[in-house]
């Protein structure tokens, strides 16, 4: 069949009427026979070829072919001249009949004369306007002029101007992507501005030209001398996560504050233009239809930060401040003094509340001894400069953006690590415990490491991994712990290997960490999904958590007080201000049961739906 069609097209280059329609009918009939033979895909092809729009399209095409073969030709090239001759002859009649008078009035009508004039233009193919000849004394270096007409609406013009300080001439500095000027395709960077709405701009300042544009209504007419054509440059669209806050109205270095785009930590930006080394053009996702705005490029941002550093007086970081012997003795003495009041057996009983067997499963990682070192002795935790003040040396030395890609987890890959983060007392640990208890086949926490000896009933690898102090210190030196600390002269820590064991088993590993440990877990292997658990309003906490208990600076649970609620709210505000750029999801712990359901939905969304993750987490072979 295919050979027959190709032969027919080769032997009959001038298709006769309905030839394509006939070929289509033959193809449809052959595909129909293929359906009867149960050939894979024939049913879909038959429905496509039988579509009415395809038949209509072929008929239109055949009509166009027929028109090119026998295109209509005018019988007379000068119908307007003929009408003038007829009217002149009719005026010479002494007693014209009523029919002749009516014909004279029809030929004399303006609309009829316009119709005949249009007929002559088409018949003579005289479509172009007749331009006057160029003068003989035209200078060879005369610059071409372009007239650009733009209709002003509620959208911004989308172009900035600058003045050449040497010549005083005003040029188009940049054309903003997606703006009115960009969509028109008539204005380009480097075009010399001559007139705006008939007013010459020579000798004016850019601010004065802007005022002319502001007071212009409707149509704006530009007269420009085009810049030499620039070779087209293809740019790949980048997606970035903002790691800092930016307000163009507070940036004195931005060339045009009104063209700038403000953004906050954690916002997703679509970078659409990187040709300027100092100022990129970006859109704020998810809205990709708006006009782009100017944002500082990473190199420009870093140069501004360096200037800021050199202008500031030196301040030592608290993270490298050494502890005096008096500080160490005071801390340990206070620690031991409170420890003396605690009863080990009672404490051991309370530990059992949150760790034990449950339908063949054991929930690990909720022992109070593990949690207390995180709350009791912050100076005994290893901290880095970035944990001292994320807004100081760390954030200033890194890029203001983090390149991200849309990532869909493959079902053959291990589950993503789920990281819970929140201020002490907001209920992070309880949420994690409930989620694991409800579905231990899906969720599990990592088993911690400790240097203390096993107590009665404890099994190595169930409650803890019991190891020697020398091995623990070896793991510390080799950065095998996400976080670690000391409690009652024993070391406790969460190891990367414990997390990997849970993920490799196919379960979703859920951990809760302190904010300074975020950088440790944000790795390509773990691909963590960070959820910030936020407290509700102060009034709501006072109403719903009066009888609740939490771990304070003692071994025992204590009730919330008003000042505790205020501390929780303030701690949450500080965490969000410093680390919000790393949050993938924010959940308000309003009611524990509802929050648990929201948390379950967020985890399911993280494992099954596409997510924006750092580009360096994905290898080229994965994408």
Average pLDDT over residues 405-425: 91
Q: Identify the three-state secondary structure at position 267.
A: coil
Evaluate whether 358 touches 536 at the Cβ level (below 8 Å).
Answer: no
**Maximum mean pLDDT: which of 139-143, 194-198, 303-307:** 194-198
In 439-489, where does DSSP find H-type helix? Answer: 469-477
**Residue 601 pLDDT:** 93
**Residue 142 pLDDT:** 62
Average pLDDT over residues 126-136: 70
**Residue 384 pLDDT:** 40
Examine the pLDDT at 12 and tell me if it is beyond 50: no
How far apart CA 50 and CA 58 sit, in angstroms, is 12
Examine the pLDDT at 71 and tell me if it is beyond 80: no
Average pLDDT over residues 561-571: 86
Q: Walk me through the domains of the chain, giving residue ranges and CATH numbers.
A: 2-69 (no CATH), 76-88+104-125 (no CATH), 146-225 (2.30.42.10), 238-311 (2.30.30.40), 325-395+405-617 (3.40.50.300)
**Residue 210 pLDDT:** 85
Element (H, E) at 559: strand 557-559
Evaluate whether 618 touches 405 at the Cβ level (below 8 Å).
Answer: yes
**Residue 306 pLDDT:** 66
**Residue 232 pLDDT:** 64
Average pLDDT over residues 449-475: 92
CA atoms within 13 A on the CB side of 205: 3
Examine the pLDDT at 214 and tell me if it is beyond 70: yes
Reported as a single tens digit per residue, the pLDDT across 588-620 is: 998 888 999 999 999 999 999 999 999 999 875
How far apart CA 517 and CA 507 sit, in angstroms, is 22
Examine the pLDDT at 320 and tell me if it is beyond 50: no
**Residue 45 pLDDT:** 73
Examine the pLDDT at 554 and tell me if it is beyond 60: no
**Mean of the per-residue pLDDT values for the chain?**
77
Q: Identify the three-state secondary structure at position 332.
A: helix
Average pLDDT over residues 405-429: 90
Under DSSP, the state recorded for 515 is: G
At residue 451 the predicted structure's pLDDT band, cuts being 50, 70 and 90, is: very high
Reported as a single tens digit per residue, the pLDDT across 240-293 is: 999 999 999 988 888 888 889 999 999 999 999 888 888 999 999 888 777 889
Examine the pLDDT at 547 and tell me if it is beyond 90: no
How far apart CA 512 and CA 516 sit, in angstroms, is 12
How far apart CA 191 and CA 170 sit, in angstroms, is 9
Distances (CA, A) of 60 to 71, 223, 367: 15, 43, 79
At residue 395 the predicted structure's pLDDT band, cuts being 50, 70 and 90, is: very low
Evaluate whether 240 touches 265 at the Cβ level (below 8 Å).
Answer: no
Q: If you search the block for the tokens 């007693």, which residue do you land on?
A: 95
**Residue 557 pLDDT:** 55
How far apart CA 432 and CA 409 sit, in angstroms, is 23
β-strands 238-242, 401-407 pairing: antiparallel
**Which of 151-165, 357-371, 572-586 has the weakest average pLDDT?**
357-371
Q: Assign residue 54 a region (left: φ > 0; alpha: ψ between -120 and 50; beta: otherwise).
A: alpha
Residue 230's contacts (CB-CB under 8 Å, 6 or more residues apart) are 188, 189, 190
Reported as a single tens digit per residue, the pLDDT across 483-531 is: 888 888 899 999 999 999 999 999 999 999 988 889 999 999 999 999 9
Element (H, E) at 348: helix 344-351
The CA dihedral of 582, 585, 586, 589, to the nearest 10 degrees, is -130
Reported as a single tens digit per residue, the pLDDT across 140-157 is: 666 678 888 888 777 778
Examine the pLDDT at 346 and tell me if it is beyond 60: no
Examine the pLDDT at 21 and tell me if it is beyond 60: yes
- Model pTM? 0.65
Examine the pLDDT at 390 and tell me if it is beyond 80: no
At residue 366 the predicted structure's pLDDT band, cuts being 50, 70 and 90, is: low
At residue 449 the predicted structure's pLDDT band, cuts being 50, 70 and 90, is: very high
**Torsion sign (Cα): 370, 375, 377, 379:** positive
Distances (CA, A) of 212 to 147, 204, 208, 217: 17, 11, 7, 10
């Amino acid at each position: 069949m295919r050979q027959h069609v190709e032969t027919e097209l080769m032997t009959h280059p001038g298709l006769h009427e309905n030839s394509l329609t006939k070929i289509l009918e033959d193809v449809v009939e052959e595909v129909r026979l293929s359906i009867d033979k149960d050939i894979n895909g024939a049913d879909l092809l038959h429905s496509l070829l039988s579509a009415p729009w395809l038949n209509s399209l072929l008929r239109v095409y055949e009509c166009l072919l027929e028109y090119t073969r026998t295109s209509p030709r005018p019988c007379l090239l000068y119908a307007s001249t003929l009408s003038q001759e007829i009217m002149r002859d009719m005026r010479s009649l002494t007693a014209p009949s009523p029919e002749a008078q009516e014909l004279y009035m029809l030929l004399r009508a303006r609309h009829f004369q316009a119709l005949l004039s249009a007929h002559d233009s088409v018949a003579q193919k005289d479509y172009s306007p007749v331009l006057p000849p160029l003068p003989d004394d035209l200078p060879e270096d005369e610059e071409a002029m372009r007239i650009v007409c733009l209709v002003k609406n509620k959208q911004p013009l989308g172009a900035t101007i600058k003045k050449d300080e040497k010549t005083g001439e005003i040029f188009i500095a940049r054309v903003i992507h997606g703006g009115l000027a960009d969509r028109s395709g008539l204005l380009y960077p480097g075009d010399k501005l001559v007139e705006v709405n008939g007013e010459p701009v020579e000798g004016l300042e850019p601010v004065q030209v802007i005022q002319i544009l502001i007071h212009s209504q409707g149509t704006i007419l530009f007269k420009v001398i085009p810049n030499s054509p620039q070779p087209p440059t293809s740019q790949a669209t980048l997606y970035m996560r903002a790691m800092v806050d930016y307000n163009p109205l507070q940036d004195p270095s931005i060339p045009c504050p009104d063209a700038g785009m403000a953004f906050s930590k954690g916002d997703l930006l679509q970078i659409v233009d990187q040709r300027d080394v100092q100022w990129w053009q970006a859109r704020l996702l998810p809205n990709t239809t708006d006009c782009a705005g100017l944002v500082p490029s990473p190199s420009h941002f870093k140069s501004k930060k360096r200037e800021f550093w050199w202008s500031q007086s030196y301040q030592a970081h608290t993270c490298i401040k050494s502890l005096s012997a008096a500080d160490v003795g005071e801390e340990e003495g206070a620690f031991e003094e409170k420890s003396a009041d605690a009863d080990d057996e009672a404490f051991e009983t309370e530990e059992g509340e949150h760790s034990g067997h449950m339908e063949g499963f054991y929930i690990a990682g909720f022992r109070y001894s593990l949690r207390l070192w995180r709350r009791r002795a912050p100076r005994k935790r290893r901290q880095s400069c970035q944990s001292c003040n994320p807004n100081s040396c760390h954030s200033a030395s890194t890029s203001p953006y983090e390149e991200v890609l849309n990532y869909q987890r493959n079902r053959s890959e291990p589950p993503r690590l789920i990281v819970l983060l929140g201020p002490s007392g907001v209920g992070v640990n309880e949420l994690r415990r409930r989620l694991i208890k409800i579905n231990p086949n899906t969720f599990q926490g990592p088993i911690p490491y400790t240097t203390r000896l096993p107590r009665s009933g404890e099994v190595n690898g169930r409650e803890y991994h019991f190891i020697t102090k020398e091995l623990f210190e070896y793991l510390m030196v080799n950065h095998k712990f996400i976080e670690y600390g000391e409690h009652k002269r024993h070391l406790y820590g969460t190891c990367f290997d414990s997390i990997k064991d849970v993920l490799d088993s196919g379960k979703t590993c859920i951990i809760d960490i302190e904010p300074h440990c975020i950088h440790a877990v944000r790795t390509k292997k773990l691909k963590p999904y960070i959820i910030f658990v936020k407290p509700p309003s102060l009034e709501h906490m006072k109403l719903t958590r009066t009888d609740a208990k939490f771990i304070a600076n003692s071994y025992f649970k204590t009730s919330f007080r008003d000042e505790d609620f205020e501390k929780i709210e303030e701690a949450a505000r500080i965490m969000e201000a410093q680390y919000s750029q790393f949050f993938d999801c924010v959940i308000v712990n309003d009611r524990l049961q509802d929050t648990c359901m929201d948390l379950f939905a967020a985890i399911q969304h993280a494992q099954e739906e596409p997510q924006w993750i750092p580009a360096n987490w994905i290898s080229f072979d994965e994408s």
